[in-house]
Amino acid sequence: MVELKIGQEVEMEFGGRAKVVKVLGSGGQGIVYLVEFNSQKWALKWYDIDKIKRPKEFRQNIKNNIQDGAPSNKFLWPKYLTKENDQGTFGYIMELKPESFDSFVDILNTYKLVIDPLTGRATKQAVRFTSLYAMVTAVINIVNAFRQLHRVGKSYQDLNDGGFFINVNTGAVLVCDCDNIAPDGSNFGIGGKPGYMAPEVVRGIAKPDVQTDKYSLAVVLFKLLFRGDPMEGEKVVKDVCLTESSELRHYGQDAVFVYDPDNATNRPVRGIHDNVIKFWRIYPKYIREAFITSFTQGIADPNKRIIENEWQKLFIRLRSEIIMCVCGRTNFTSMFAKVDEKTFRCPKCGAEFSTLGFSNRDNRMPLYVGCRFYKCEIDPDCDDFLTVAGELVENKLKPGVLGIKNCTEDTWQAKLPDGKYYPIQPGKGFPIWKDLEVDFGKVTAKI
Amino acid sequence: MNNNNNDIKENTTVDDLLDFDDDDPLGATAVSKKSLVIFFLIDTSGSMKGKKMGQLNTVMEELIPEIRRVGEADTDVKVAVLTFDTDVRWMYSAPISIEEFEWARLGAQGVTSMGAAFTELAARMSRNSFLNSPSLSFAPVMFLMTDGYPSDDYKSGLKALQGNSWYKFGLKAALGIGDEANDDMLAEFTGSKETVVHAYTGGQLASMIKIIAVTASQIGSKSMTLSDETNEELNEEDVYAAKQRMLGQQIQELVGDQTDGSDVPYDTGW
């Protein structure tokens, strides 16, 4: 391993030098440094070339990726390669992760270690999503990033908890470690991180590709929502010591999902897997079923794995089923009592929530101050799940009167209490009432 | 979608709803981690006194922060330090999480009771003692450092250790310091020559300790990784002791880079 020293300069492929400022972190394939190049700060990934199986092809692949550009702004994509040094070692630079993003590893740990630069002492600082909206939005962003990547015909190969940074306030996602991304079907020697690898990769009978990415994505989503390992239950814990052969068994040859409805041998163990036990009952049936399919039929048959587009739809629905109750309780509609087909009640404080039904889907959206729907929810041809289309607000001039504000650039039509339809211009709104009907253009909705 | 799963409820039951104090989807605790204990077996006999011990103390202090992030979200890394001279002593009475671990500087005196240390380690590497984590564990890392030959019957201690299955599946490495340490004897402990290295100079001592400790804890704290280029189904024999082999391979690669001018005796070149 040729480590770089602080202050050392590395020649860039197309001229110029990047000067090493400090170490940012290290991984299985090399070390990441903070560098200065063209008077800007960048991250330099510098390879331990002995760990790269086919360095020439590996370098060429990164070169191709740089030329192709990132699939979207959700990727911390390689920007420029360095020259190769005498030992054949090289690296690439990429943009730095913004301060406001935390690593997925820290989110799973629920804290990060902050090191005092003077004493070297480490203190713990909490890392948690600040709202349920942000968490579900992060899930949608992760799914969407891989949808974008797979759409350009590439696979990530090494999908694991070290590969993401997430803003816990907004749910924005940055995918990092993009250097193993390769055209589907090519592999430059990376196997992946155990626990995230598809069973056929663990068993040695397949190399990472788009299909194995789908399995790893399901593991990432499961870990983010249920905060545990989908394959680690009673059967695995009984082994006490996780040796190489027990891993081959539990994650490869005989992987059993902890909530496999037809195989109860590997259920989560109270005292160890409390998160999974607690959260599994909270999520609605359609979310649980998607994971069951991924981790039962999807183990042996990669074609049964949930595709990104499907995940995206499921989680956009989940986000629309969040209720933030006045009593402070925030949860999905599945955890509220149903008064009738159109009304939910908070089991804690008794508050009731009317719902809005949309013409393009069966699930109804609960109404409360602050609830929102997004562009993709009122336009079937639109993929924009981040731009708010409408939000439920209190009328500023008539306190106590609640209505929906048009946050789009289009004019809607809404039926008001006199039974007539009125145009609702951008920036305007309409009150909620018992026979409300609204036409968004391609989709209609009513109470 | 799967239609035959009877234990999925369409609607949440009343009991579930009533338990609203504990249903916050954001109220997660940290993911359950696998645990890994790194055992350092350190010779604190009289011959280690002086520069060797001083340097070892300094390296170990520096090493702790370096292995702190090794476990990431999957593994809770703990450290236990067993010293042996005339007596055998644990630095702390139980393994301590790497995040809280503080190195207590060691002194040196007396003879080399390595066999007694092996016996003590064998007794503590048990579900009922130091390896009592309720969740899953990775097999421990055992790192032996010595500058001399055991002054007691190490064979009987080693025999006790070899009967312990944690030892059998664990990652073993050893560092011989100076001319007196016997690599063949150390290979008996690790089970292979590849995981035994030798330091003759102060600079080597520092780099070898770091190489072995960091590499072993990296490999030990992660699940096995694939490295074969064939497309054949792996079986149990293929993966048996795969990590120990990987450790030997990586130590040799890393040590290869370090051994230029290695014939200088330990006490020269300071």
Q: Which two tokens stand for residue A188?
A: 């430059």
Whether B223 sits inside 8 A of A229 (CB atoms) is: no
Cα dihedral B175, B181, B186, B187, rounded to 10, equals 100
Average pLDDT over residues A336-356: 94
pLDDT tier at A54, thresholds 50, 70, 90: confident
Mean pLDDT of chain A: 92
**Chain A / chain B CB contacts < 8 angstroms:** 196
In this structure, are residues B251 and B219 in contact, taking their beta carbons and an 8 Å threshold? no
pLDDT at B215: 85
Q: How confident is the model at residue A280 (pLDDT cuts 50, 70, 90)?
A: very high
Which residues in chain B are contacts of A243 at CB distance < 8 A? 139, 169
> Mean pLDDT over residues A77-100, rounded?
92
The ipTM (two decimal places) reads 0.79
On chain B, the residues whose CB falls within 8 A of the CB of A229 are 31-32
Q: How far away is chain B from the Cα of A250, in angstroms, using its nearest Cα? A: 12
Determine the angle formed by the axes of helices A210-226 and A132-151, rounding to 10 degrees. Answer: 180
Residue A367 binned pLDDT confidence (cut-offs 50, 70, 90): very high
A240/B127 Cβ within 8 A: yes
Q: Are B99 and A122 an interchain contact pair (Cβ–Cβ within 8 Å)? A: yes
Task: Give the least confident one: A29-38, A111-120, B182-191.
Answer: A111-120
Residue B13's pLDDT is: 55
Any A CB within 8 A of B180 CB: no
pLDDT one-digit tens code per residue, B77-89: 999 999 999 999 9
Task: State the pLDDT confidence band at B257, using cuts at 50, 70 and 90.
Answer: low
Question: Residue B116 above 90 pLDDT?
Answer: yes
Q: Does B102 touch chain A (CB under 8 A)?
A: no
pLDDT in tens, B25-71: 998 888 888 889 999 999 999 999 988 899 999 999 988 888 876 76
Neighbouring residues of B230: CB distance < 8 A, sequence distance ≥ 6: A204
- B32 and A275 within 8 Å at the Cβ level: the answer is yes
pLDDT tens-place string over residues A345-354? 999 999 999 9
Q: Which helix (H) or strand (E) holds A56?
A: helix A55-68
DSSP secondary structure letters along A264-333: GGG---TTTSHHHHHHHHHS-HHHHHHHHHHHTHHHH-GGGSPPHHHHHHHHHHHHHTEEE-TTS-EEEG
Confidence of residue B240 (pLDDT cuts 50, 70, 90): confident
Alpha-carbon gap, residue A391 to A380, rounded angstroms: 19
Q: Which residue of chain A has the CA closest to B229?
A: A189
Of B27, B65, B169, the CB nearest to A243: B169
Mean pLDDT (whole number) for A201-226: 92
Q: Does A281 touch chain B (CB under 8 A)?
A: yes
DSSP assignment of B158-207: HHHHHT-HHHHHSEEEEEEETTT--HHHHHHHHSSGGGEEEE-SHHHHHH
> Does pLDDT of B223 surpass 80?
no
Q: Is B231 on the interface with A (CB under 8 A)?
A: yes
Q: Which chain A positions have a beta carbon within 8 Å of B165's beta carbon? A: 241
Is the Cβ pair A244, B224 closer than 8 Å? Answer: yes
Chain-chain contact of A335 with B99 (C-beta, under 8 angstroms):
no
- Give chain A's largest Cα–Cα span: 82
Contacts of A248 in chain B (CB under 8 A): 224, 234-236, 239
pLDDT over 70 at A18, yes or no: yes
- Over residues A146-163, the mean pLDDT reads 87
pLDDT of residue A191: 67
Q: Identify all chain B residues contacting A25, using CB atoms and an 8 Å cutoff.
A: 69
pTM given for the model: 0.88
Strand (E) or helix (H) holding A203: none
If residue B41 lies in a helix (H) or strand (E), which one and from where to where? Answer: strand B34-43
CB contacts, 8 Å: A273 with chain B: 32
Question: Beta strands A388-394 and A182-183: pairing type?
Answer: unpaired
Among the listed ranges A55-59, B6-10, B11-15, B138-142, which one has the minimum average pLDDT value?
A: B6-10
Q: Do A347 and B224 touch (CB under 8 A)?
A: no
